[in-house]
Amino acid sequence: MPRLLGLFLFLLISAPAANADDGYRLWLKYDLISNPQLRKAYASMARFITCSENDPVSKTACLELQAGLQGLLGRPVLIQASGSKPGTIELLLLPKGAPDADNLGKDGFKIQSARGRLTIVAAQPSGLLYGAFELLRYIQTEGKTGELSGVRRPRVQFRMLNHWDNPLGTIERGYAGASLWKWYELPETIDPRYRDYARANASIGINAVVVNNVNASARFLTPEYLSKVKALADVLRPYSIKVFLSINFASPKILGKLKTSDPLDPQVRAWWQEKVREVYSYVPDFGGFLVKANSEGEPGPQEHGRTHADGANMLADAFRPHGGLVIWRAFVYGPDPKGDRFKEAYQEFKPLDGQFAPNVVVQVKNGPIDFQPREPFHPLFGAMPRTPLAMEFQITQEYLGFSTNLVFLAPLFKECLDSDTYARGKGSTVARVVDGSVHDYPVTVMAGVANTGSDRNWTGHSMSQANWYAFGRLAWDHQHSSARIAEEWTRMTLTQDPSAVATIKDILLGSRETYVRFTTPMGLHHIMGQGIHFGPEPWLARSARPDWTSIYYHRADSIGLGFDRTSQGSQALSLYAPEVQKQWSHPDSCELPYLLWFHHIPWDKTLSSGRTLWDELCFRYYAGVEEVAVIQARWKTVQSQVDPEWFADVQGRLAAQHREALNWRDACVLYFQTFSQKPLPPGLTPPKRTLEEMKRIVEIYQLR
């Protein structure tokens, strides 16, 4: 065994025990199984590992399986080139053309058991890697979260993390320290953390990484940075992870000193073709470019009178000889004080359906505004049958309380994925649009904006690790339930105690709804602090553009509250299929979580809850604060079953979350009361602080 891999395994197996857990090992904790009978049962099936393949990914699969089993079982597990004794786990790569190869696909695998032997079968090395991690997950969770035998295939081809990391080491919307990538030390120094990051991603099926910010520096396309990207790609490759780059569309002018970046200019096209060839000379298996263009000040083809399709197709031509992708973001909106930002991406991209090259994917955020705590699904999903659409979720908690708030995002992801677009009749869910089964997309992508950083525990808030985990599991199979994912992660990361698992799972599953209640109940949105997007600022009336204010969205007045997007308002609701419109078109039948997204409701109107709008709004804000207190109390009950360092970290952050919930409640109730002119409902204690005091507190939040 090479010296480096031997050292790697030694460090992995000899990792600190769970009673000194700083969060670094994430969910990859291969500590000794405490139940001796269970340990004996698993040990009987795992005496040997047979690995006959010599490619880097297959070798990685064998070594990861060996290291994990040795930690869990507390004894050596030998790797052999061949053998079929009882107690052998065989990693078997099917020959090309084998009957089962097409069924398994590129990343799929099958686990089968016969005559005391376990076999992981795959058509490609990546399948062996994912199969090895599936077996380890089954053992880590003591077989309580799923079946072992059977075929597993990912539903999406590219399961991708988008890093918003900058060349100087900062992270836009990063709340867990500085960038993972130590650009000034690369390529000469390879931080061991890069390999641990790759391991974590591979364990949940993530196979693609965009290493830099979508607000991209052209510097990433220089030889200086391409050599650094190559070094990262070399670390990620044995874990079957492709590297992508975000690019600055004006790079031909910035780097090439051309007079224009017009995508139809022959010199510009030639420059990009040569640049793409250069990238592949550094990284032969390079994945492609992610592009933010003509959005929030970023350059793009519209400056030259061209369309998004013109810009994307120019880059696609450069990638065609190499097999790479162009992922073009649809997050675009213009500063129209009389318009509705809800509609703008749809209006720009829907007319371009069918005009994009085959190797272009349009990446669409889950909702039409911007990663809000709750949004209706984006109307583009289901509306572009001839253009592959990628899902873009946000794992980092930009609008969800940064790293002080416990918010489990699987329910948010599932809420969007399970929404029915009715694009081709009932059952045309967003998930089935994204995975290609509704429109037969040739390429499928699900992306998540990463929440990792240089903090020792990777994600700032220890419990936010669950969101990274949840994204990977849903990108692999969107049919997994939030409850299953929460239990898997809890068992792998925190405890196997049944009572504690049940408590923590319940905390996770309810946490997103709690956050919505004390920040943006009933469809309120984009009323957070300006710039940093933290804390309440519903009174924000002036900004660099109207759709960066709060009043643009909540439309509070003496009559009522909410943004009318029906046929009497902005008509944004008309962008959906008729069946979807019917769900939300009338205020009396619209679900309360989406009510103020689509309707301007009078303060005195009685809702389906039996309360008036004003009373319901107040009750939800107060309930959110009370629920945080309940979470605090419930977390205390698991103290004896959770590592002390983990427990203290979460306990402190929950205390901060309770303080922030009070700020949200008092600021919003007092502010909206200036319009409703109504007292608080009976039984609710008035805030101890005045509106002016809350404005001063929030003003301090925004200081930099």
631, 654 in Cβ contact below 8 A? Answer: yes
Distance CA 34, CA 340 (A): 57
385, 439 in Cβ contact below 8 A? Answer: yes
Q: What is the largest CA-CA distance in the chain?
A: 80
Name residues whose C-beta falls within 8 Å of residue 380's C-beta, 6 or more positions apart in sequence.
330, 345, 346, 349, 350, 362, 364, 389
Question: 379-412: string of b/e by CB count within 10 Å (b at 16+)?
Answer: bbbbbbeebbbbbbbbbbbbbbbbbbbbbbbbbb
Question: 546-572: string of b/e by CB count within 10 Å (b at 16+)?
Answer: bbbbbbbbbebeeebbbbbbbeebbeb
| 398 in catalytic set | yes
Pair of tokens at residue 216:
């991209």
Nearest partner of 57 among 115, 6, 106, 116, judged by Cα: 106
| 296 in catalytic set | yes
Question: Which residue carries 């985990």 as its tokens?
Answer: 469
| 649 in catalytic set | no
Distance CA 467, CA 491 (A): 15
Read off φ and ψ for residue 290, nearest 5 degrees.
Answer: -110, 130
Catalytic residue among 21, 298, 398, 537: 398
3-state secondary structure 175-214: CCCCCCCCCCCCCCCCCHHHHHHHHHHHHCCCCEEECCCC
Distance CA 48, CA 591 (A): 56
**CA 128 from centroid of its chain's CA atoms:** 25
Distance CA 547, CA 529 (A): 13
| Helix or strand run (H / E) with residue 669 | helix 644-676
Pair of tokens at residue 382:
């289901």
Task: Pick left, alpha or beta for residue 117 (phi over 0 → left; psi -120 to 50 → alpha; otherwise beta).
Answer: beta
Give the burial class of 67: count Cβ atoms within 10 A of its Cβ; 0-12 exposed, 13-18 middle, 19 or more buried.
Answer: buried
Distance CA 564, CA 282 (A): 52
Catalytic residue among 370, 506, 626, 693: 370
Per DSSP, what are the bridge partners of residue 208?
160, 242
| Helix or strand run (H / E) with residue 38 | helix 36-44
What is the DSSP code (8-state) at residue 376?
A: P
Catalytic residue among 296, 336, 579, 699: 296
Name residues whose C-beta falls within 8 Å of residue 339's C-beta, 6 or more positions apart in sequence.
570
Give the burial class of 172: count Cβ atoms within 10 A of its Cβ; 0-12 exposed, 13-18 middle, 19 or more buried.
Answer: middle
Peptide bond just before 187 cis, omega within 30 deg = yes
Q: Which residues are catalytic?
A: 296, 370, 398
